[in-house]
Amino acid sequence: MCYGFDGDAALRRSVTDRRSLLRGSLAAVAGLGLAASGVGATAATAGGQHGHGRRPVPPGKISIQLWTMRDALQGSPGYDATLKQLARIGYPRVELALGYFGRTAAELRRFLDQIGIKASSSHDGISENADALRQKIQNAVTLGQSYLVVPYLYSENADDWKRWAQQMNVEAAAAARAGLRYGYHNHAHEFTIDLGGGKRPWDILTAELDPRLVHLEVDIYWAVTGGINSGDGVADPEGFTLDVIRRAPQRVLQYHVKDRSAVDGDMADLGTGTIDFARIFRGHQVQEYIVENDTPDVTPQQTAEIGYRYLRRLRF
């Protein structure tokens, strides 16, 4: 096995970078205020998203990334109450983040079974050694997951991206033997960092990751933002995102679904921003549509409910 690079340390550094990026964004306008001011109409008008299409998002494929709920999980009302609320809203599944909050994987599985939610996916960094990889896979199997996803990596060195791809291929092969799919989740910088020779991180990853073993979890907000920031998708951000999906050798099996504010380009609750999700979903359908907003417009609980209701009403 190739574990010459400390993937967990890279992940910790990347999460710090991500938080700094979010702190530097302008505060999001409250979701209800955006809708009342007509900003939400931008996306609805652009995509004809409610009532004009033919297909709904299958309700059993709707999920939420628990990073969205971190303030509620870590504070009030707490982990158990927050997960129960997600079940009451209607979420059939979640994508885990931030650990198990004092439970073992088996204990968490029992709790989730009791409230009727499946932990179908999780965000986990590249393992620092073979033992950590075995434990990560065993936990995912115990929880009944279908997916393991690397959430974030950052480097301005092409060799780092090649090394990470090699490690992910090794981990993905081990995950496949346990019946799990192994994926990578993008941010904007994979489309904007110049690694030299006309190459960007996304070019290297998609060239090096084994498409038989590794799938992609495309974060639509970050792909749109990457297209805008790079200049390649300014005229047509959704078209850029669809090109990213279609040109990748890997299968895109999961979406992170979060909107983009027309005011400042920050993240926004679903239906209050500018992204034409119906167009993207028409172009490519996935196995999981995962609600996420790193900076909830009102409260995490309201963001979760707005996101679920939006996807249930969407037609494409």
Distance CA 112, CA 129 (A): 29
| Residue 274 Cα distances to 27, 68, 106, 261, 280, angstroms | 17, 20, 41, 6, 13
Q: What is the pLDDT of residue 63?
A: 98
Q: What is the pLDDT of residue 102?
A: 97
Q: Which residues contact 252 (CB under 8 A, 6 or more apart)?
A: 215, 216, 217, 218, 245, 284, 286
Distance CA 283, CA 262 (A): 23
Q: What is the pLDDT of residue 94?
A: 98
Q: What is the pLDDT of residue 53?
A: 55
Residue 245 CA to chain centroid, in angstroms? 14
19, burial (CB in 10 Å: exposed 0-12, middle 13-18, buried 19+): exposed
Q: At what angle do helices 105-115 and 130-143 cross, to 10 degrees?
A: 20
Residue 180 CA to chain centroid, in angstroms? 17
Specify which residues 268 forms β-bridges with: 259
Q: What is the pLDDT of residue 32?
A: 28
Amino acid letter for position 212 = R
Q: How far apart are the first and last CA of the chain?
A: 44
The per-type count for the chain, helices as H runs and strands as E runs, is: 13, 10
- Quick check: helix, strand or coil at residue 153? coil
Cβ–Cβ under 8 Å, residues 250 and 209: yes
Average pLDDT per consecutive 10 residues, the chain (316 residues; last block may be shorter):
38 40 33 32 41 83 98 98 98 98 98 98 98 98 98 98 98 98 98 96 98 98 98 98 98 98 97 98 98 95 98 97
Q: What is the pLDDT of residue 36?
A: 30
